[in-house]
């Protein structure tokens, strides 16, 4: 790899709490399917791979989301840098820069793309990246600015300074970064022509960022140096050590960019959305003649300006305005559309109470496939389990429950104690409590089974794993 190589770095750490109940910790915003059928992570990866001459991208994410990223990645090379604990953008980007400096060279240029934003695809994106790369090669720390479409109080702002570029315009020096403003200041910024929304997209040389961290955030600089030295690497995956979790949780803007001297902003000529609320999500849906936007089947009578996300069942609205309705199998959100920024307060309450709805959906994604809770009660649970071709659950045992499996489609390879056998559609098997067992799909199509659990306790934590292909404890 030459010293001027461009490496896209995709940050897939956004929780998306304001998109609850669709986005949850077990299936966060970057991996949710959008109305166009693709996830934000898949879109970011496609854009990274579209850049001429760019090296294989690096995805930085929590280790628990590795299997979801791999499922969304499709064909093409992709490397991973795994965090044991999310620590915001300064440690995450610093670790990526340090890792790539050691492996690809100090002048390697990083293009940092958040996987929880939606960027318009097309030539405008490539042109803006070209400007940013040229500035990065000159030693600038570059950010991208979005021309404000409204006086948005939920975004940070960037005020531009003088233009950079002798014959060809490349960008502006950054005069200052501004935290999320109140309504009056946001209106002034939107009208000024000198301010941009801060998109959280960055570009810089690896050595330039590490020098800036050493000057302005030495604790993070020393920490990522130690952590990168302790990375365990295998098959394109680098896993940061537990020490990474002790680094300060701080954004790159606050830690470095607001203080550094050689910082530039490139005006972004492409459309952008952080898809950070239900209002911004609704912009991805077509509107009817009365401003209603619907995902799913709905009957609207005398309704105006409403947003409905209810893909699993019919929803009817009658005589309402500016209503937000989000229906999932285990949680329903009904709110005034103007208060969608407050959804994260609901999530905070659920988290404080330990309520499972902040964490998991009724359908839970696992490295081997999914399980869906169909019904549960005292001493029993009924689940639909889907195992993808060639994948297997861990070799495990339960102390408190037995399991009955009925194969609906595909072929199951069942390990039970010392024996193995194949179970085909309309056949079943029984696993008593205390017996070591494994479920595997040796076929070429999804294996679908119905599982009935019975016992004194049927919680998911009644699992003793003896062997696991996915590195889980």
Three-state DSSP state, 381: strand
Give the model's confidence band at 152: pLDDT under 50 very low, under 70 low, under 90 confident, else very high: confident
Mean pLDDT of the residues in the chain: 93
pLDDT at 384: 98
pLDDT at 153: 83
The answer to whether 103 and 215 have CB atoms below 8 angstroms apart is: no
From-to residues of CATH 3.90.550.10 in the chain: 6-273
Per-residue pLDDT, averaged over 217-224, amounts to 96
Q: What is the pLDDT of residues 382-391, one digit of tens each?
A: 999 999 999 9
Task: Reply yes or no on whether the pLDDT at 473 is more than 80.
Answer: no
pLDDT at 4: 54
Q: Determine the Cα angle at 390 with ends 388 and 392, to 5°.
A: 75
pLDDT at 3: 38
Q: What is the pLDDT of residues 424-464, one digit of tens each?
A: 999 999 999 999 999 999 999 999 999 999 999 998 889 99
Q: What proportion of the chain, given as a percentage, has pLDDT over 90?
A: 81
pLDDT at 151: 86
What residues contact 282, with CB distance under 8 A and at least 6 apart?
293, 307
Tokens of 271: 């459309």
The answer to whether 280 and 154 have CB atoms below 8 angstroms apart is: no
pTM score, whole prediction: 0.88
CA dist., res. 413 & res. 387, Å (int): 11
CA dist., res. 58 & res. 381, Å (int): 40
Q: According to CATH, what is the number of the domain 6-273? A: 3.90.550.10
Per-residue pLDDT, averaged over 68-78, amounts to 87
Q: What is the pLDDT of residues 352-366, one digit of tens each?
A: 999 999 998 999 999
Q: What is the pLDDT of residues 89-114, one digit of tens each?
A: 999 999 999 999 999 999 999 999 99
Q: What is the DSSP letter of 313?
A: E
Quickly tell me which residue has 């709905």 as its tokens: 298
Task: Reply yes or no on whether the pLDDT at 2 is more than 70.
Answer: no
Q: What is the pLDDT of residues 228-260, one digit of tens each?
A: 999 999 888 999 999 999 999 999 999 999 999
pLDDT at 1: 32
CA dist., res. 328 & res. 323, Å (int): 16
More confident residue, 74 or 285: 285
What residues contact 38, with CB distance under 8 A and at least 6 apart?
46
Q: Which residues of 87-121 are buried (b: 16+ CB within 10 A; e: fewer)?
A: bbbbbbbbbbbbbbbebbbebbbbbbbbbbbbbee
Beta bridge partners of 326: 309, 333
pLDDT at 173: 95
Give the strand pairing for 6-11 and 58-62: parallel
CA dist., res. 176 & res. 138, Å (int): 20
* Domain 363-467, CATH number (from 3.40.50.150, 2.60.120.10, 3.30.2030.30, 3.90.1150.10): 2.60.120.10
- Give phi and psi for 73, each to the nearest 5: -75, -30
The answer to whether 393 and 431 have CB atoms below 8 angstroms apart is: no
Per-residue pLDDT, averaged over 322-338, amounts to 95
From-to residues of CATH 2.60.120.10 in the chain: 363-467
pLDDT at 428: 97
pLDDT at 460: 87
């Amino acid at each position: 790899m030459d010293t001027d190589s461009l490496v896209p770095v995709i940050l897939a750490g956004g929780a998306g709490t304001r998109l609850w109940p669709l986005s949850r910790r077990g299936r966060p915003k970057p991996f949710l399917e959008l109305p166009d059928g693709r996830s934000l992570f898949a879109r970011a990866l496609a854009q990274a791979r579209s850049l001429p001459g760019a090296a294989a991208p690096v995805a930085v994410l929590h280790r628990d989301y590795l299997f979801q990223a791999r499922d969304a990645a499709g064909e093409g090379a992709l490397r991973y840098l795994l965090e044991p604990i999310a620590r915001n953008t300064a440690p995450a980007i610093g670790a990526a820069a340090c890792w790539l400096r050691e492996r690809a060279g100090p002048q390697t240029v990083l293009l940092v793309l958040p996987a929880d934003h939606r960027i318009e695809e097309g030539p405008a994106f490539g042109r803006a990246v070209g400007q940013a790369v040229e500035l990065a090669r000159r030693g600038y720390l570059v950010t991208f600015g979005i021309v404000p479409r409204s006086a948005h109080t939920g975004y940070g702002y960037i005020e531009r300074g003088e233009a950079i570029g002798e014959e060809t315009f490349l960008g502006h020096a950054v005069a200052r970064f501004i935290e999320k403003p109140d309504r009056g200041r946001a209106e002034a910024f939107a009208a000024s022509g000198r301010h941009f929304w801060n998109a959280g997209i960055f570009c810089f040389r690896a050595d330039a960022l590490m020098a800036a961290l050493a000057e302005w955030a030495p604790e993070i600089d020393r920490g990522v140096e130690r952590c990168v030295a302790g990375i365990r690497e295998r098959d394109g995956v680098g896993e940061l050590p537990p020490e990474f979790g002790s680094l300060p949780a701080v954004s790159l803007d606050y830690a470095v960019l607001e203080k550094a001297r050689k910082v530039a902003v490139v005006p972004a000529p492409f459309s952008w959305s952080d898809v950070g609320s239900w209002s911004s999500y609704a912009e991805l849906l077509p509107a009817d003649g009365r401003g209603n936007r619907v995902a799913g089947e709905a009957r609207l009578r005398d309704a105006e300006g409403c947003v409905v996300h209810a893909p699993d069942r019919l929803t009817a609205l009658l005589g309402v305005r500016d209503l937000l309705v989000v229906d999932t199998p285990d949680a329903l959100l009904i709110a005034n559309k103007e208060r969608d920024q407050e959804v994260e307060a609901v999530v905070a309450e659920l988290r404080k109470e330990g309520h499972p709805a902040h964490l998991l959906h009724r359908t839970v994604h696992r490295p081997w496939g999914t399980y869906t809770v169909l019904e549960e009660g005292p001493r029993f649970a009924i689940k639909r389990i889907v195992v993808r071709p060639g994948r297997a659950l861990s070799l495990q045992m339960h102390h408190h429950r037995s399991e009955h499996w009925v194969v609906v489609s595909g072929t199951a390879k069942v390990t039970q104690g010392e024996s193995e056998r194949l179970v085909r559609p309309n056949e079943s098997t029984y696993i008593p409590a205390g017996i070591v067992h494994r479920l595997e799909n040796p076929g070429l199509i999804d294996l679908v089974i119905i599982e009935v659990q019975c016992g004194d306790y049927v919680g998911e934590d009644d699992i003793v794993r003896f062997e696991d292909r996915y590195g889980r404890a």
